[in-house]
Structure 1
């Protein structure tokens, strides 16, 4: 049965069919994107979307069937509906599930495209054969051409959906979604007509050109549809190239691109600056030739082989520069993979020379005294522990320098530090090479004497070394030493006790006279009379509230105005006169009196603040030193809270200073207590900051308000300017205030101000003052206080 062509192809119906297929393609793109982005209930949603798409395809084919004006069999109509809808649903679901994964290989791409083409052809030919069973007669040449065109359309459709549903690229190419859907819908709209043309014989009057028109239309639609992915594909290639070049050229680190043999193919400008070679000199060079020594070269070769096998590791090595100098570098190597094949490696190289120097300095400062450059107590204990683990015998010499505290209190810390530096140099000279001289703290030093050396001979050399005066500030001083010696393991096998025994022997030598040494013996355990006497006297002094509080003002270095004061305990002994804090504070700590002492100071300060408050004075914040032991008292926060209520004081008047050692304890309970104090209005300051325990990771987690730069840095501010600047910068970044203590000269003030430290404390402005003298100075600083006095 021959059908005139014009009854097969109706322009209006074709236009309506194309519109519906454009909409269905847009829906298919969005459905695929949504399932990709949100895989929750993926299977259920894919089924729902597939049924909806199948319904649209069925609707478009009903338009074609009705408009074709070809007799169709009503007997097979329901079978047609069911079969066509089922095939389209199954095909749409299968294609959607395949398209939800990133199809990267050619076989996957071909498989998905052929699945879609086969589904379309099977649905079209089966459906039309059922509905037009009386009129169909396959035109095999046209059927083959139809099959070819449907296959081409399927490949173009899969390529378009893969690219347009890539979320990494979607924002860049989404404007092509609508244009691509229009051309894709046009191509899909032509499929039922070319299939129908290949199945229904047309009259001879229709002519060759007439029945070929749908195929020409399909060819044109496919051509336009093909251009869309090509258009944004070119842009994507350009974008990827630009992104690659940007990452390569503008990387702040040096980047080397090398081939599988390790030959350098390309470098960025940072690599040129790092190595000192030109880009052309580096190109073609084996990367191993930039490594400083042979052992390192072998290590890098092994590392490179591991990288090529898939491991991504970081390695540190030494890089050789063009000027024969070297740089410490950290290398991160990643493979360059194209189509699942490794073609080379990117080596990202960071210059860590300065970081290494800083780490080395930090490690050095952790185990050395920054004033004398001698090993510190931590290093001494580490060496003692190592000798103990080896079962070796040794002796420990403990030294205390007489009259030093008097000199230090009289002339100030800066002057005292000069004395300590000379002491350190002298000890280093007389200590045998295989022994260890260290500074324990203050004016106390120790010498570890190893096997093969006689401790009495070393002690005798120390005594002789300090029989001549030392010079400081144009003056000469005779500094004599009291020396105690304890032997390991003869006296004790406990390292901590060994230090104590050497200390006892030193006190015995001090009692016998200056410039003498004394070996420890067991009788000294019961003869430590002086310290025991002071301990009892201190206990009674705390009980009778007979210690006093001095106040050392804090100043703004720019305005020279008082910003607060530090409360300092002072003890005037009935027989010995003023006992330095450096003497009675350690005794209080050893005798477990420190908590009672600090609470006595707190009450005295609060009482004095109440007096000033009653006189209507404007009183700046007062800081009180609190030991870490106090934080282990369960009632500390409660005590502070109740004391504020008892004295009717605001927490804003109080600041507590805690030592930097609090940062290595890492107990959450301490931080909770600090936060509780701050919630009362009390500020928290880290005292002696930078003396060995500094850790940014701890500091950032602690509830503190202020860092107090230790006086040892201030005393040598020129040499330590970088450290001070780092502390100020760190405090600024953490929104913390900063104050420097131990300021004694105008040059120190100028340097601190230039480094950003505005708040200072020290003898340059004022020594610690009795409360009456501090009150007078405070009243001069605050005009409103003067007004109170006059009225």
Structure 2
């Protein structure tokens, strides 16, 4: 019998008992109050009426309470039903997989996400145990920890590897919770999990990128250093040698500046592919940054093997790279350091290879150089000089010297060339050859060039204020600064700050800087020419000029390199070259300016051939502004 039926029966019995009590009590009261039969009849009717009214009120109250209780129960059942529907909707639509087991561990329910993630359908897993999905990735101790946590805290969370229906093992982040009934006993277990394969893949990609170059896919400097240290450890234990080759692409910056970084990146990828394919297995190739590559030979018994490899790489890289309609030629310079003869640690091996690389570049590039003890001293000297040079710029230790430029016909000084000198507080006047190459390597040369330009223009304004007239002041611009597209803006700013007439400024650019990338150079020179200044090609004859390109350049002057002047007027080769340069310049309407004139015979010969201007020790050495002689 249900609870509601028992309650109804109790209510009926209570009503019968109350009715009988009412009849007994009412009869005795009427017998006591009334003696006549008529009065008794009236009293009896009155008693019945009162009981009927009382019963009606009691039934009304009971009915009202019953209806209220039924309504409340209906509303609660409706709310419970809505909550169940919402829970079921969440259960089925959540992106996390959900698995429910009974207290014995048999699966009683799974949601749609479970079926999507695992590949199993509901009828394939109901009544089964979760061990069906084990991957074999974890040992018994792992599962014992899960059971222990559930027993002690009722919950476990962590990473677990399971197997999909098609056999693939994949990682999950899973939370298992014990569900208890009203008596506190475990009735079910609910497992909620997410497929974290994508996260794991991202972690692997990040780990890969942390140790590999994203452009070429080669090991980066971090991984290369680690492999060098491991290789040295193995080599030391097996008493064998190793070699480290440091490679740098020659004039790669001109490709970036002229053709763009996108094409430069494509070239780096082609270089990496060619080297990887050619070097093959057993050799570690890495991109250390920019256009610098490292090669590690873990088994190199003698220096001849490393040198032979370097020569082969240099020859192999001379073959052109053809892609995207371009046919590019590039060379490499290589520095070699050996273990254990040159270094005993990876850091020292890299440092020594870098010193050798610097030597290879100084020797003319497209070459290799072996490390020697002498290079260590040179490397240390370069580092110290670079630091001191930065300090020299900050503390105004640099000086601008001026070398007179004379008209060969009249012998009058018509201009000066500005040359930088370094007045070291301890070493005295440092020769340009000792710090200019270091300034170029460290990138300080551009800052130095602009400083010289500003000083030269300011000095020219002071000379004009003193009434001393010169046709021009010449300033050399390095190839590094010339390759910067914003150079004309820098020059314009200096002219504006000093107030100098642009027509009095002559900018000299070396032939090699112009011919490295003629199209970019043409644009750069036109922008400079638009400022109203004069342009000159310095060291003409030492590069590989294209006459077709040369005639397109907005240049007013060619400067004959002093190397061709030194043999005049006796050396037949120098005579022939100088005559050709002068004839070429005159045919293009350019002025000719010869450097390095030390003897009167040289000046006379140049004048006879049609050279207009000259400079050199014959007319005066470079000197401070106040030491110039005004005729």
TM-score, normalised to structure 1, is 0.40
Task: Give 1 or 2 for the bigger CA radius of gyration.
Answer: 2
Between Structure 1 and Structure 2, which shows a larger proportion of helix residues? 1
TM-score, normalised to structure 2, is 0.49
